[in-house]
Amino acid sequence: MKILVCISHVPDTTSKINFTEGNTKFDTNGVQFVINPNDEFGLTRAMWFKEKQGASVDVINVGGTETEPTLRKALAIGADAAIRVNTEAKDGFAVAKELAKVVTDGNYDLVIAGRESIDYNGGMVPGMLASMIDANFVTNCIHLEVEGNNAKAVREIDGGKESVSTTLPLVIGGQKGLVEESDLRIPNMRGIMMARKKPLTVLEPTTSTTETNSVSFEKPVPKGAVTLVDADNIDQLINLLHNEAKVI
The per-residue pLDDT for 12 is 93
Q: Compute the average pLDDT of residues 141-151.
A: 97
| Of 7-11, 24-28, 109-113, 206-210, minimum mean pLDDT range | 206-210
- What is the pLDDT averaged over residues 42-55? 97
What predicted TM-score, i.e. pTM, was given to this entire model?
0.88
Across residues 107-128, what is the average pLDDT? Answer: 95
Spans of all domains in the chain: 2-217
Task: Identify the weakest region by mean pLDDT among 128-132, 135-139, 142-146, 203-207.
Answer: 203-207
Average pLDDT over residues 26-47: 95
pLDDT at 146 over 90: yes
CATH of domain 2-217: 3.40.50.620
Per-residue confidence (pLDDT) for residue 221, from 0 to 100? 85
Reported as a pLDDT band with limits 50, 70 and 90, residue 79 is very high
For 190-211, how does the pLDDT look when each residue is reduced to its tens digit (9 = 90+)? Answer: 999 999 999 999 999 998 778 8
Q: What is the pLDDT of residues 159-177, one digit of tens each?
A: 999 999 999 999 999 999 9
Q: How does the average pLDDT of the chain come out, rounded?
A: 94
247 pLDDT band (50/70/90 cuts)? confident
For residue 90, the model assigns a pLDDT of 85
Confidence of residue 219 (pLDDT cuts 50, 70, 90): confident
Across residues 121-138, what is the average pLDDT?
96
Beta bridge partners of 25: 20
Q: Which residues of 149-175 are buried (b: 16+ CB within 10 A; e: fewer)?
A: eebebbbbeeeeeeeeebebbbbbbbb
Report, as an integer, the average pLDDT of 231-242. Answer: 90
| Average pLDDT over every residue of 172-186 | 94
In this prediction, residue 179 carries a pLDDT of 95
Cα distance from N-terminal residue to C-terminal residue, the chain? 61
